[in-house]
């Protein structure tokens, strides 16, 4: 049965579902950080923005006879784009150093005489979680999104410029993860 798009029905719909979610009501934090990264094993830092990448179902054709390739049968899911985070850079460069330590813990390179090691996954990735709390206008948690097996994958270039006066610098990092759940 088609719905009536009257103002009353639209207002009723949003009222029944608690209103509209504001995109500036969130917080990001990490649990079970690898040792030597940050302070302790948890980290709560305010991100300027958090962009959660796409989710898709990967399918394969069953090749049954008939028109075309047959049905597309779901076989797994994939998470494209990871979670893109942007942070303000403070004068002590805390966020830059924190993520640099995390990258170096995974693979520091030849100059630091620390090569990639096989056990990195169990010690640096396996237990690390990232939580994005989606908040209501009063700061209460509406939904928690927990990302499992999180690690930094890539940073964006850091820009310093004389073009604009008193603009602060931003550190942007792409976080990879195995999967996530809504809590």
Looking at the predicted structure, is the pLDDT value of residue 117 above 60? no
This prediction has a pTM of 0.82
DSSP 45-86: E--SEEEEEEEEEEEEE---SSSTT--EEEEEEEEEEEEEEE
Looking at the predicted structure, is the pLDDT value of residue 71 above 80? no
User: Tokens standing for 112?
Assistant: 């630091």
Alpha-carbon dihedral of residues 40, 46, 49, 50, nearest 10 degrees? Answer: 40
DSSP conformation class of 110: T
Looking at the predicted structure, is the pLDDT value of residue 145 above 80? yes
Least confident of 6-10, 94-98, 143-147: 6-10
pLDDT score, position 180: 93
Share above pLDDT 90 across residues of the chain, in percent, rounded to a whole number: 39
DSSP conformation class of 111: T
Size (the chain), residues: 183
pLDDT score, position 170: 94
Least confident of 93-97, 109-113, 114-118, 136-140: 114-118
């Amino acid at each position: 049965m088609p719905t009536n798009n009257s103002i009353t029905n639209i207002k009723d719909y949003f009222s029944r579902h608690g209103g509209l979610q504001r995109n500036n009501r969130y917080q990001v934090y990490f649990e079970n950080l690898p040792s030597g990264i940050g302070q302790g094993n948890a980290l709560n830092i305010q991100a300027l923005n958090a962009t959660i990448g796409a989710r898709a179902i990967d399918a394969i054709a069953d090749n049954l006879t008939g028109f075309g390739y047959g049905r597309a049968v779901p076989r797994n899911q994939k998470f494209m784009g990871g979670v893109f985070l942007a942070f303000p850079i403070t004068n002590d460069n805390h966020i830059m150093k924190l993520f640099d330590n995390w990258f170096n813990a995974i693979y520091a390179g030849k100059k630091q005489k620390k090569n990639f090691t096989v056990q990195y996954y169990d010690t640096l990735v396996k237990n690390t979680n990232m939580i994005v709390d989606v908040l209501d206008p009063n700061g209460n948690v509406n939904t928690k999104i927990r990302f499992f097996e999180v690690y930094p994958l890539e940073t964006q270039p850091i820009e310093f410029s004389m073009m604009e006066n008193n603009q602060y610098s931003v550190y942007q990092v792409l976080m990879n993860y195995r999967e996530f759940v809504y809590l």
